[in-house]
Chains A and B, each alone.
Chain A
Amino acid sequence: MAGAAPTPTGHGGKKALDAELNLVPFIDLLSCCISFLLITAVWTQIAGLQVASSGGPPEAPQKQENTIDVKLLLSEKGYSLSMAGALVEIPKINGKDGVPMYDRKALDEKLKTLKTSLPDQTAITVQPEDAVAYSDLVETVDAAMGQNLKNVTVAPMN
C-alpha cells in the first residue's frame, strides 16, 4: 500500500532524500474519530425557557423600588399588556395564508420601551387563555426573555 516506509533503492546506493509519512495509522485514527462522533452526534439543538408557575413554592421577595407589576395576557384577540394601571392592547395580525397570529414585533417594541423606562424590571407574568397554543406561549416567553425580562411567571388567566 502507498504511504509505507521509504522506498528501498537497492544495491546499497544513496538513500532517497524524500521520506514518506506513514499515513495508515493516521487514517485509522481519523476513521475511529469520525465513527465515534457520528454515532454520538446530536443534530437538534434544544433550548430551555425556564419559567415559574404561579402556584409554585413561595420565593424570597425580590421586589425592588424601580419595578412594577407587569402582566401580559394572551387571548383570542391578541396581547394585552397591563402595567402600572395602564393597559396596552396588541391585536392579532394577519399572518401567512391570512391566519391571524400574535403580533410579536409590536410586543417586542412595547417590552423594549418598558425595559428602557424601567431597566431594573426583570419580572413579568404571562397569563394565557386556555385555548392558547403551546407555541404561542413559548414565543411570548421567548420575547420577554429577549428583552431581559428573565423572571417569567406563567399563570392561568383566572
Chain B
Amino acid sequence: MAIVTPGKRPGARIAASKVFGKKFGRGKKTPYAALMLTSLVDVMTIITIFLLMNFSANGEVLYMTKDIKLPDAFHGAQLERAPVISVSADAVTFDGKMVLSTADLEKGDVLNVPELEDALRDEKRRYEQIHSQDPDHPFKGLVNVQADRKIPFKVIKRVMFACNQSGFGNINFAALAKAPEVKVAAQ
C-alpha cells in the first residue's frame, strides 16, 4: 500500500474541480507570524506620554540615602541646585563627603562647627572664582539642608550657625513635596 500524507483525500474529480478543489488544496503557509503592532504602539505611546509629563529637567538635587527620611511639606517651593548638607543619625556630610559625626554635634553647648565652616568657605571661594567674570550669577548664599526627620534642632542649629558664619544665609530645608489636602465641604 502506498504511503500517503494523512488528512482528507478527495477523489480525483473533486480535486480537479475549480469550486470544490480549493477546499482541499494544501497552500503553503507563510513562515512569518503577523504581530498585532497597533496595540503595542498604543501602550508605548501612553507610557511615553506619562514619562514625559513626569519628566523633571532639574534632575537629582539632593543625595538621597536610606539613612535620611525626609519630612513632608505641603507648601514648599521647588528646590534649587545648591550645595547640600546632609544630616543623618550617624554623620554630617557636605556635598556627599563626610565632614563629622552627628554625635559630635549633639555634644557641648558651643555653636561653631569649624570643619563644616571650612568646607562651606571653600565652596563659597570656589563659586566666586568660577563666576568672577559672570555678573549674572552672583553668590546668593543658598544652601540646601536635608536632615532625617528625627534629628534634634540642637544639631540643625549648629549646622545653620555654620552656614551663617560662612556666608550662606539662605537656607533651604528639604522635604518631600506633597500635594495640599483637598478639604471636602460637609454636605
Contacts and interface: CB of A to CB of B under 8 A. Distances in A.
Contacts, number: 168
Interface string A10-48: 000000000000010011001101100110111011111
B96 interface: no
A104 to B, nearest CB: 10
Contacts of A51: 171-173
Contacts of A33: 48, 51-52
A3 interface: yes
Contacts of B41: 23, 26-27, 30
A46 to B, nearest CB: 5
A45 B72 CA distance: 10
Contacts of A128: 153
A34 B177 contact: no
Chain A residues touching B, range: 35 or more
Contact of A48 (B52, B54, B79, B153): B79
B175 interface: yes
B151 interface: yes
B157 A130 contact: yes
A38 B48 CA distance: 9
B173 A133 contact: no
Nearest to A126: B153
Interface residues of B, number: 64
B110 interface: no
B169 A53 contact: yes
Given A30-B45, A47-B79, A142 B175 contact: yes
Contact of A31 (B44, B54, B80, B174): B44
B131 interface: no
B71 A23 contact: no
Given A41-B55, A46-B176, A132 B48 contact: no
Given A23-B41, A34-B48, A50-B171, A146 B156 contact: no
A106 interface: no
8 contacts: A1-B35, A33-B52, A37-B51, A49-B172, A57-B167, A138-B149, A142-B76, A145-B75
Interface of A: 1-3, 23, 26-27, 30-31, 33-34, 37-38, 40-42, 44-53, 55-57, 74, 128-135, 137-139, 141-142, 145-146, 154, 156
Given A45-B177, A49-B175, A142-B74, 7 more contacts: A34-B47, A42-B60, A46-B176, A47-B79, A48-B174, A51-B173, A53-B171
